[in-house]
Chains A and B, each alone.
Chain A
């Protein structure tokens, strides 16, 4: 079980990085153009500073898992 917990740690790190890439690519697609809807600007300028640190948190969670920090938690 502990091996699985550690291996899955890589999955969380990759998932977090993919999510960050997805957020930036969608935001740049939505916000490019001559006339951008103000509500879209607010949406993305609110989402990015909030979601990117959260995804970094997921990556940190994955890192802790990979290092075996969660091995000792009681079953």
Chain B
């Protein structure tokens, strides 16, 4: 019997669709995506160090560049990356496109670790950093859609949610690894060297991981679905036009964005990033403690990406995602109120020790002095609070002294620490409900010929813009709630933004979204 090329292709396809063949495809894709998320997050996590070395506070232009780096890379550039690389992925294939995004991200990250500081090369330093950060945003915009599409197109239809669930874990695990590498490096080199040069190591380490991942990806085959339409000559000649200029597809892009991804984005960013920022800035918890709480919540939460991905194969994607949004809307305020209560310093004090500081420094030229007062209080629930107040006393009494700086730090008792971790875990659970099934959902909504382009744009608008803006809009809402009568404002006011976006998305999703996208067939495939 003569073996034909069709037979060989079928055997390869069958091999991939089962057991280790499929698992190796998933792991190879996931490792690369994980590294891309790691690269993207370390910039954010090390932002204070980057600001210190590249964006000096006194320089207005540098401050503009710093803010632009935050906004442009996170929000504006990512959708452009989605369009650029999505188009490329639908024209030349998934494999080579997400290889390029991985290289682009890896090299940008590595070079960030090499750029001399503002003190050495002046304004060239922040400009270079901004440029590299934009490249990171572009790369991220192209990576996710490719990886999700690639894995989904290898997976059997009835297990697509489960297998794409692995790709969905990468964003959260990437954050976990970035925290682990930063805390590990800090511990290994020490606080002072880390402030000086050690913060560069997490950027430089990335090149090793990227190298391994590129090697793995080079060995991968093109997606079978893409290969099939390529060989049958059914590739799209103009994926951008077909995706966004044709009403039939554009309406699905809009439905994906407003009926699923926008809500998913705000639930994700609230559970993962706003929770961290809230513990840091509102609860005033100690820096490392916040990272450990988040790490524990992520470790316990991550398997649920696979659980909800798998469940979505059985009962459909829609209602799991809708349930995640509804739970967020209903419970965010009580959860964050409890987080505030756990870290509150307005409790019965069992011990208080104040050291009214001696004069720390006296400026010989002006005669101004600085007084540092440290107060440590232990509360009845076991929490400890430390307040360091730094006041400047001017020698010239006719001048107005600057406002005293107050640094507050709270250490939670063991019981409260675990309770806080549980509250963050609940939020991560909501993230897994909305995010676990979404890759499979997006893949199923669009035909193979324009899938990479069509799914990447709503994903990065939903996550980059609607989700990415959560910390900024939430802070803006809290600031806006401050009045003369209530100068501290409503610390929970920021939650209205994710609740409103998730609410609108929930209504649109319930009304318009098909119940079983996994049973949709795209005939041109």
Chain A residues close to B by CB (< 8 Å)? 4-5, 8, 12, 15, 38-39, 42-43, 46-47, 50-51, 54, 57-58, 60-61, 64-65, 69-70, 73-75
Contacts and interface: CB of A to CB of B under 8 A. Distances in A.
B472 A43 contact: yes
Given A39-B67, A43-B472, A4 B76 contact: no
A43 B508 CA distance: 28
A38 B255 contact: no
A67 B511 CA distance: 15
B75 A46 contact: yes
A39 B63 contact: yes
Contacts of B247: 64, 69
Across the A-B interface, the 7 shortest Cβ-Cβ residue pairs? A42-B67, A46-B71, A61-B254, A74-B514, A70-B512, A64-B251, A69-B251
B68 interface: yes
Given A46-B75, A60-B254, A61-B254, A75 B514 contact: yes
A50 to B, nearest CB: 6
Interface string B53-90: 00000001001100110011001100000000000000
B461 A54 contact: yes
A5 B251 CA distance: 14
A61 to B, nearest CB: 4
A58 B515 CA distance: 21
A65 B71 CA distance: 32
Contacts of A4: 511
B461 A8 contact: no
Interface in B467-505: 469, 472, 476, 504
Contacts of A12: 258, 508
B230 interface: no
Given A38-B64, A54-B461, 9 more contacts: A15-B504, A39-B67, A42-B64, A43-B476, A46-B71, A57-B254, A73-B512, A73-B514, A74-B516
A43 B67 CA distance: 8
Interface of B: 60, 63-64, 67-68, 71-72, 75-76, 247, 251, 254-255, 257-258, 461, 465-466, 469, 472, 476, 504, 507-508, 511-516, 519-520
Contacts of B60: 38
Contact of B63 (A8, A38, A57): A38
A70 B465 contact: no
Contacts of A57: 254, 257-258
A46 B512 contact: no
A46 B511 contact: no
Nearest to B464: A50
B76 A50 contact: yes
Contacts of A64: 247, 251, 254
Nearest to B469: A47
B251 A8 contact: no
B465 A54 contact: yes
Contact of B511 (A5, A47, A60, A74): A5
Contacts of A54: 461, 465-466
A65 B254 CA distance: 11
Nearest to A8: B511
B71 to A, nearest CB: 4
A60 B476 CA distance: 28
Contacts of A42: 64, 67-68, 71
Contact of B251 (A15, A58, A70): A70
B515 A61 contact: no
A65 B465 contact: no
14 contacts: A4-B511, A5-B511, A15-B504, A38-B64, A43-B71, A46-B71, A46-B75, A50-B465, A61-B251, A61-B258, A64-B254, A70-B512, A73-B514, A74-B515
A31 to B, nearest CB: 13
